[in-house]
Chains A and B, each alone.
Chain A
Amino acid sequence: MNDTSARHRVRSVTTTLAVALTLTLAAAAGCENRREPSLPSVRDKLRESHIDGQAKIKIGVATTEPLMGELRNGKHSGFDVEIARYVASYLGYEGDQRIEWVSVTTEDRIPALQGGVVDLVVSSFSITEEREKLVSFAGPYFVTTQEVMVPTRLRDKIRTIEDLREPAYKVCTSGGSTTEAELAKHDVKVLVVKEVGDCVKGIREGRYDAVSSDETILAGFLSLYPTEFEIVDMPFGTSELLGIGVPIGDPALRDLVAFALQKSYLQGRNGISSPWITAYTRSLAPYLKAEKAQPQPLNVPALVDFDDKAPTR
């Protein structure tokens, strides 16, 4: 009898505890539902960034690099331009009427960001430690290598970095580029001009003998003059990580651009066509030797967005 009543007591105490805990849990769930969300959203970041409220976004692009950033018949085209269009539309600037394209040369890119002339730079901008002290980068969105392009008449003579060192050959590159620093490291004397296009023009006029730059940029010129030039594969040993330049004082905008690139990366990885894949197949794909894929962007923040609930499979 005593045993039964003791069991009853334990049972009713357990029930009381269970009911109390369930009610507490329900109350906690209710409170949690009304609390401010702990993760920042894309919209929060947009409000923090300096582009909030701007009618147009100013993007610095190259206008003389075929396949990457080119201005032809008043219309900007190329891989960088397509990526810029995608990022702009992710930030709320859909269509060219909402984008102010600013032409930037290789050496202008950092001053343009620092001076507020542009909000973003998408122009074969390699991520380097020195540059990261002056501007922020989101990316990489492309990994390329440094190569040398020679006119067909010299294709048997210039094959190695050693050949480039010969004083007889005049090697040309664009000022303020990573190539300039890399060639100096290999003791190659270079003639520095403003744009890679000037080097190509100089070679065709007989003033220079070789041009060195990113494979992507050289591939662009090769697409223009397929019979006049050849790209020589040289072991410079460094890979160029192309990133999108953002003013250093606007970490929110950097985060947003990185998040947009990550979104495209995930789409591509899941086997769905992504904005990156579209841009790549429309511009670079036919002219590069090896097939490329979008690299994973680095330092992507955890943000929430409206389309987060969409199925991933």
Chain B
Amino acid sequence: MTAPAVPQDLGATTVPVRDGWDPAVERRTRASQSFWTAVVGVPAIFSVLRLGVEAGGELQTTLLLVANVGPVNLLAGFLTTAARLLSTSLVAVFALGAVLRVSVERMPPTVRRPLFVRWADLTPAWFVLSSFLLALVTWQLLYLPLLLPAFVAAFQLTPARLHEHPVPRTLIVVTLLAGYGWLLAPTLLDAWQQRELLALVLFVAPPLLALAVTGPLPGAVIRPLASVTEAAVLAMLVWAALPVITTPVLPLTVTTVESSPGVTEDVRGHVVTVDDVNMVLLQERGGVRYVPVDDVRAQVLCPSEEELPRHRLRIRDYHVEDSLLEGLGRRVRPVHRTDAACRTPR
């Protein structure tokens, strides 16, 4: 699939076709390659980078982790923590791509199509839909309403698609909005009482915006919008990637160790591996510790500080910071108590 070596063509579409070589095909191939490289490569690179961060930047510790964390575990661990970031990036690209595409189509054919439009062009519909589904189950409920205008924009679903006559169309829209309002009414009241204004706007505004977000943009807006959003999505990727890189690969535990009779000590850290002789702990405050298996008295799984909720809002008993998947999970295993040992100071 290597592309023939040709001079770079920036912008114009006036290059003559020679020897069956089509610049449009060439461009599409290149865009396709860059897209799939990003989709597959970014997670792979992140996974490896994370190990280095997890090891506290120490070469020997990184090597210890590399030796003990299998590639499948690493990728699975990465996907659980990064699915949100991944789906957000994809949703942003497809929604912006579709908005720009419908605008560019009104422009003269000489105008170069923005990057996101080219990416959106060559992505199969099933992939776009899967990205939205991934977002639906992994986004926090607080941000989930934003998926609505994004979805409407990505598939350019104008309200006219609901019904051809304006009256039934209005009725359908009003019914849908009323249902949405009924679902969220107690939460909106809570948000108002707790003065969580951003949460309030995040719940109310997106469905209304979804009604107006379709359709072409004026020509003057397209170019700045394309460049600004490309930069913004890239910035978001870098900015949001930092917490993903620093999220631990291994689960956090507190291990009670009795090194001499009657003297116990709690070690906060991640279990790297256990063999017949030692339990290898990567301590939360740094450094690796080899604890003889016979000295281990107890071990509990603990939540990390990043998991602390920031809001006290619920939608029909689902916490707004849970995704649909997490919320459902909590209903399958509802009893959860933070173990006392987890409060042990670091």
Report B-chain residues with C-beta under 8 Å of the C-beta of A89. Answer: 340
Q: CB of B166 within 8 A of chain A?
A: no
Q: Is the CB of B202 within 8 A of A25?
A: yes
Out of A42, A304, A307, which one reaches B310, CB within 8 Å? A304
Q: CB of B135 within 8 A of chain A?
A: no
CA distance A23 to B264 in the complex (A): 53
The residue of chain A having its C-beta at the shortest distance from the C-beta of B143 within the complex is: A29
Least Cβ distance of B260 to chain A in Å? 15
CA distance A153 to B209 in the complex (A): 83
How many chain B residues touch A (CB < 8 A): the figure is 59
CA distance A236 to B27 in the complex (A): 92
CA distance A25 to B264 in the complex (A): 51
Report A-chain residues with C-beta under 8 Å of the C-beta of B64. Answer: none
Q: Is the CB of B146 within 8 A of A22?
A: yes
Least Cβ distance of B262 to chain A in Å? 9
Report B-chain residues with C-beta under 8 Å of the C-beta of A19. Answer: 99, 153, 213, 217, 225
Q: CB of A39 within 8 A of chain B?
A: yes
Interface residues of A in 96-154 (CB under 8 A from B): 97
Q: CB of A287 within 8 A of chain B?
A: no
Interface residues of A in 1-30 (CB under 8 A from B): 11-19, 21-23, 25-30
Q: Is the CB of B312 within 8 A of A16?
A: no
Contact pattern, A 293-309, Cβ under 8 Å of B = 1, otherwise 0: 00000000010111111
Q: Is the CB of A94 within 8 A of B340?
A: yes
Contact pattern, B 132-162, Cβ under 8 Å of A = 1, otherwise 0: 0000000000110010011001000000000
Q: Is the CB of B216 within 8 A of A12?
A: yes
The residue of chain B having its C-beta at the shortest distance from the C-beta of A303 within the complex is: B312
Report B-chain residues with C-beta under 8 Å of the C-beta of A312. Answer: 314, 317
Given contacts A27-B232, A39-B312, A313-B317, contact A22 B340 (CB under 8 A): no
Given contacts A25-B205, A29-B143, contact A311 B337 (CB under 8 A): no
Out of B213, B236, B326, which one reaches A22, CB within 8 Å? B213
Segment at the interface with B among A46-54, A70-78, A177-185 = A46-54
Report A-chain residues with C-beta under 8 Å of the C-beta of B314. Answer: 312
Q: CB of A235 within 8 A of chain B?
A: no
The residue of chain A having its C-beta at the shortest distance from the C-beta of B333 within the complex is: A310
Least Cβ distance of A243 to chain B in Å? 23
Q: Is the CB of B340 within 8 A of A92?
A: yes
Given contacts A27-B232, A43-B305, contact A22 B209 (CB under 8 A): yes
Q: CB of A93 within 8 A of chain B?
A: yes
Report A-chain residues with C-beta under 8 Å of the C-beta of B212. Answer: 14-15, 17-18
Q: Is the CB of B206 within 8 A of A22?
A: yes
Given contacts A307-B336, A311-B331, contact A30 B217 (CB under 8 A): no
Q: CB of B341 within 8 A of chain A?
A: yes
Q: CB of A91 within 8 A of chain B?
A: yes
Q: Is the CB of B334 within 8 A of A311?
A: yes
Given contacts A18-B212, A310-B334, contact A13 B218 (CB under 8 A): yes
The residue of chain B having its C-beta at the shortest distance from the C-beta of A28 within the complex is: B198
Q: CB of A238 within 8 A of chain B?
A: no
Q: CB of B59 within 8 A of chain A?
A: no
Report B-chain residues with C-beta under 8 Å of the C-beta of A94. Answer: 339-341
Out of A12, A23, A37, A93, which one reaches B340, CB within 8 Å? A93
Report A-chain residues with C-beta under 8 Å of the C-beta of B131. Answer: none
Q: Is the CB of B201 within 8 A of A25?
A: yes
The residue of chain B having its C-beta at the shortest distance from the C-beta of A53 within the complex is: B345
Least Cβ distance of B122 to chain A in Å? 23
Interface residues of B in 20-40 (CB under 8 A from A): none
Q: CB of A156 within 8 A of chain B?
A: no
Q: Is the CB of A38 within 8 A of B310?
A: yes
Report B-chain residues with C-beta under 8 Å of the C-beta of A14. Answer: 212, 215
Report A-chain residues with C-beta under 8 Å of the C-beta of B307. Answer: 306
Q: Is the CB of A311 within 8 A of B340?
A: no
Q: CB of A90 within 8 A of chain B?
A: yes
Given contacts A21-B209, A310-B330, contact A16 B232 (CB under 8 A): no
Report A-chain residues with C-beta under 8 Å of the C-beta of B62. Answer: none
CA distance A23 to B239 in the complex (A): 16
Report B-chain residues with C-beta under 8 Å of the C-beta of A309. Answer: 309, 319, 321-322, 326, 330
Report A-chain residues with C-beta under 8 Å of the C-beta of B337. Answer: 307
CA distance A304 to B321 in the complex (A): 12
Least Cβ distance of A101 to chain B in Å? 17
Q: Is the CB of A46 within 8 A of B236?
A: no
Closest 4 CB pairs of A and B: A92-B343, A94-B340, A18-B212, A37-B310
What are 9 pairs between A and B in contact, CB < 8 Å?
Answer: A22-B146, A29-B202, A38-B310, A94-B341, A305-B308, A306-B308, A307-B338, A310-B336, A313-B317
12 more contacts with CB within 8 A, not counting A28-B198, A304-B310, A311-B330, are A29-B143, A30-B239, A39-B310, A43-B305, A90-B340, A91-B340, A305-B308, A307-B337, A309-B319, A309-B322, A309-B326, A311-B317
